[in-house]
Amino acid sequence: MISERVLKELASVLGPEHFTSRCEDLITFGTDATKLRFMPDAVAFPGTPDEISRIFQLANQERFPVIPRGAGSGKSGGALPVEGGLILAMDRFNRILEIDERNLIARVESGVITAVFQEAVEKVDLFYPPDPASIHISTLGGNVAECAGGLRAVKYGVTRDYVLGLGAVLPTGEIIRTGVVTAKGVVGYDLTRLLIGSEGTLAVVTEVVVRLIPKPAYRKTMMAFFETAAATVETVSEIIRSRIVPTALEFMDKTCIGCVDESVGLSAPKGTGALLLIEVDGDKGLARKEATRVEEICSRRGALEFRSPSRRKQGEKLWEARRDVSESLYKLRPDKISEDIVVPRSRMAHFIGFLEGLARTHTLPMAAYGHAGDGNIHVNILFDEKIPGEREKAQTAVKELFLKVIEMKGTLSGEHGVGVTKAPFVEMELSKPVLELMGRLKKAFDPNGILNPGKIFPYKI
Ligand code: LAC
Ligand code: ZN
């Protein structure tokens, strides 16, 4: 609990309009896309790195947790105040500082919504590819914290592949810059990469320097329906093997198709077990050739139907429907655990077979969709908390899922991070010396453990 005296001091650092400890204001800041709930003691809306630094000085002195928060769209609970404390809402860091068209670099504050930034760079014919499904809500700071991926990662890579440098405040109060504002730079340790994906546990990012690329001249969306999920992912493996790298190569099983169908009208052919949503982009001639080859592979693999919407708007509607899959699954059950495991792309069919078995054993509805081109599948286990035993059943299924993923030399998280939800499982993937080294790094950044405690590590550090 933060004492009344300290709350008053915080209010004076921030100004009363940028600080609240009123219970009714706090509730929304205690939850995120995991739908787990905790209660912070207060919320601060800092406006400058200097204010964040002063908050940290106070937090070290009084030993209260500080939890940075972007839009709260995280899926592993990274922004949750699990031990109470002060939420640092980064909403006021909302300016695009510079789009440098001569150097193809942009500087942007961490609270800017990713889609807003993308639109701004696309206006000048440039491109910032990372596109998490939450793109219309999530912020660049949140994307950096989690090293967000997204639909286009298969061709363009993830957040870390675009970030050149950061402006940040350390939990010990120093205001720092990491990396460069040039196309290259190798001076010193790569702290930029260390902070990317550190889930808000090492520093608070205030500014992001990213590289931009030219906007692709042409885009083409395609959709292929298959009888079985296994046939669908085998097609993905073949596309990858054929040295075609689509912009996006997304998979949706029958359950997911059913959930988005109402809003988008997919009218899947009879007997559909799963579909692929594919985009190619780049030079028009080359992209069209790739599209033809993708179509050939799909039909060779027995696609029930292959479509390629001629109008741009129709294609966009399909991608928006894809972005809505996660939320739309709540139509089936009020609760779900959504995972984001990754397996080798060549072994996806084997993995899908395992998932079908898992659903049968645990008699819970499960839905799988996601970035098949990366081997990154969102496994959703649906349940109803109110039905006795269902949550426990879902948790047992998660444990079995993770065991399988590790056995397949996969990883527990491709893009959502460890946060709170995967912390109990992290030792399945990370060895003791690795986790201990991470603990020592955390201590070096944050000796008093005030920044975002209770995340990543399965034990208190
Ligand atoms: C998606 C999110 C859940 O791809 O990562 O829909
Ligand atoms: Zn995803």
Residue 454 CB less than 6 A away from ligand 1: no
Residue 325 CB less than 6 A away from ligand 1: yes
Q: Which of 159, 322, 326 to mutate to test the pocket of ligand 1 (most atoms within 8 A of CB)?
A: 326
Ligand with the closest atom to the CA of 256: 1
| pLDDT confidence bin for 293, thresholds 50/70/90 | very high
pLDDT in the model for residue 312? 87
d(CA 39, CA 83): 8
Region 71-89 average pLDDT: 98
State the amino acid at position 12 in one-letter form: S
98-156 pLDDT tens trace: 999 999 999 999 999 999 999 999 999 999 999 999 999 999 999 999 999 999 999 99
What is the residue with the minimal CA distance to atom 6 of ligand 1? Answer: 133
Query: Do residues 221 and 318 lie in contact, with contact meaning Cβ atoms separated by under 8 Å?
Result: yes
Q: Which of 252, 323, 324 to mutate to test the pocket of ligand 1 (most atoms within 8 A of CB)?
A: 323
Separation of CA 122 and ligand 2 centre (Å): 22
365-424 pLDDT tens trace: 999 999 999 999 999 999 999 999 999 999 999 999 999 999 999 999 999 999 999 999
Ligand with the closest atom to the CA of 319: 1
pLDDT in the model for residue 263? 80
Separation of CA 322 and ligand 2 centre (Å): 10
Separation of CA 290 and ligand 1 centre (Å): 26
pLDDT in the model for residue 90? 98
Q: pTM for this structure?
A: 0.97
229-279 pLDDT tens trace: 999 999 999 999 999 999 999 999 999 999 998 788 888 999 999 999 999
Residue 364 CB less than 6 A away from ligand 1: no
What is the residue with the minimal CA distance to atom 1 of ligand 1? Answer: 133
Ligand with the closest atom to the CA of 73: 1
